[in-house]
Structure 1
Amino acid sequence: MPILSASLGITRYRVVEEIPDSLWREVPKRLQDNAFRDIDATTDERSWGWCNLDNMLDMDWAESPPEKGHYMCFSLRLDTRRIPPAVFKKHCMIALAQELTQAKAEGKAFISKDRRREIKDQVMLRLRARSLPIPAVFDAIWNTQTGRVLLLTTNSKVKTMFEDHFNLSFGLELEALTPFAMAVDMLGEEVVSRLENLEPTNFI
C-alpha cells in the first residue's frame, strides 16, 4: 500500500459542509455503490472508482472493512489504456493504405475526410481491444473525528477526479488545505485580509 511507502506525496482536505452522523453508517454502502468497474473485457479507455485499501481487486470489501479505528480507509483505483502515438500512427497508415487500394480497385481516387476519421476510430478501438489497462491506486484516509481527508497523491488530475467522485459518492464538497486555507482555518475569517496582504521576506 502507498500509505506504507518510505516516501509519499499527500494532499490534505477538509469537508466544507457539516457531516451528518448518519453518514458514517452509510459509507460502506456508498463505497460499494461507487466502486471501480473492471474494463479488461471492454474497449473503454478509462475507468475509476473506489476499492479496498488492502486489496485493489476487492470492490466488495470482503477481505476487510473500510472502518479502521476512527478512520475510513479506501482507495481510488484508476485503470487507463494507453496506446503509444507511434503505434497508433503506424496502424492508421496501414489501414489507410489498405482502404486506398480498395478504393482504387473500385475506381475511386481518394478517401473522404469522414471515412478517414472513421478508419482512425476503428483502428483505435482495435488497438484498445488488444491492450490491457494499466492500474493505478491512490489511498485515502478519512478521519471520522475531525472530518479531515488525506489523499496519497499530489497529481492535479487525480485530485480533481478524487474530489468529483467523493462529492458524487457522499454528497460532500472537499477543500484542499493549502497553507492559506489552513491559516484561515486556524486563525478565523477575520485574518483573511491580513493574509492576502502578506509579502514574502528575502532573508539573503
Structure 2
Amino acid sequence: MGFLSASVAVTRYAVNGEIAEPFMETVAKGLSANVIQEINGDPQKRSVGWAPFDKPYTPDFSAASFVVADTVVFCLRIDKKSLPAGTVKKMYAAEVDRRLRESGREFLSKDEKKEVKEHVENVLLIRMPSVPAVYDVLWKYGEQRLYFFSTQKAAKDELETLFYKSFGAPLIPLFPFTTAETSCGLTDAQIDSLAQAAPSTFATE
C-alpha cells in the first residue's frame, strides 16, 4: 500500500539524531549500500532492502532520483519465498527412496535425513520466484519526521532496523506520549509526570 492509494495506513516516526553531513551524500550512500538484493535463482528465503520509489522492481539508486522538494522518497521492499509443506514432503520422500534404492539400505541416519531435507528445500528455493512486498517511505528531513505507509508490525520492525543500519539514526514511533515528549519542549520533570499520568474516563454510568 502506498501514499498514492485511495486509502492508506500510515505510521509516523521522529528521526532521533542528526544525519552525518553532507546530508544528501550520506542518504545516497545509505540507500545504495542497503538496496534490495534479488533472491530469484538463489536458495535464500528472504531479502530486505531499499528500492527507488518510481521503480521499486528495478532497484538501482544510481539512476533514480529520491528527493522531491524537502522530502526524501523511497521504498522498503521485502521479498519472501514460502515453501509449500506438501511439496517439500513429497520431494523429500522421493529423494529418501532414491537414496535407499541406490545404497541398498533400509534406513538413512538422522544426519542423512537432515541433509536430504536441506537439499530438497534448497532445490525448491532456487526454482521458486520470490514474492515482493513494497512499502512507501516519505522522509521530511527538515522536520525530522518520517512517514511509513504500513502499520504491520513485521514491516515496521524491518524499517526501524534497516533505517538505523543505513543512516545511524533511530526511529521513534509517534503516538500521543512520544509526540509530546519530542515536540513540546517539556522538561524532564514534565516528561516524568506525563509518563505517570493515568487515562481519564469521560463517560458516565
Normalised TM-score (structure 2):
0.88
The answer to whether the 8 A contact 1:32-1:59 is kept is: no
In the alignment, the residues of structure 2 paired with residue 130 and residue 22 of structure 1 have an alpha-carbon distance, to the nearest angstrom, of 43
Greater shift in the superposed pair: 192-201 or 139-148: 192-201
Whole-Å separation in 1 of the counterparts to 2:106 and 2:89: 22
Tell me the amino acid that sits aligned with residue 134 of structure 1: V
Residue pairs, 1:117-136, within 5 angstroms: 117-136=114-133
Could you tell which deviates more after superposition, 40-49 or 109-118? 40-49
Alpha carbons 1:184, 1:191 under 8 Å: kept: no
Q: CA deviation at 1:21?
A: 4.6
Give 3-state SS (helix, strand or coil) of 1:4's partner: coil
Verify the 8 A CA contact 2:19 2:168 in the aligned structure 1.
Answer: no
Query: 4+ runs of 1 displaced by more than 6 Å?
Result: none
Query: Pairwise mapping of residues 41-52 of structure 1 onto structure 2 (< 5 A)?
Result: 41-52=41-52
- Count of aligned pairs between the two proteins: 201
Specify the code of the residue in structure 2 equivalent to 1:52.
P
Give the residue type in structure 1 aligned to 2:95: A
Q: Which runs of 5+ in 1 are unaligned?
A: none
Higher mean Cα deviation, 18-27 or 169-178? Answer: 18-27
Task: Provide Cα deviations, 1:113-142, integer angstroms capped at 9, x if missing partner.
Answer: 000000000000111122101111111110
Q: Given the superposition, is the C-alpha separation of residues 186 and 29 from structure 1 closer, same or farther in structure 2, using an over 3 Å criterion?
A: closer
Q: 2:39 maps to which residue?
A: 39
Partner SS state of residue 78, structure 2: strand
Q: Quote the residue 1:175 is aligned against.
A: 172
Aligned to 1:96: 96
CA contact (8 A) 1:17 1:173 kept: yes
Letter of the 1:65 counterpart: S
Q: Against the structure 1 CA distance between its residues 179 and 93, is the aligned structure 2 distance closer, same or farther, given a 3 Å change threshold?
A: farther
Q: Which residue of the partner structure matches residue 22 of structure 1?
A: 22
* Gaps in structure 2 of 5+ consecutive residues: none
Q: 1:113 aligns with which of 110, 115, 125?
A: 110
- Judge conservation of contact 2:20–2:26 (CA < 8 Å) in 1: no
In the TM superposition, residue 89 of structure 1 has moved relative to its aligned partner by 1.9
Q: Cα RMSD (Å) of the superposition?
A: 2.0
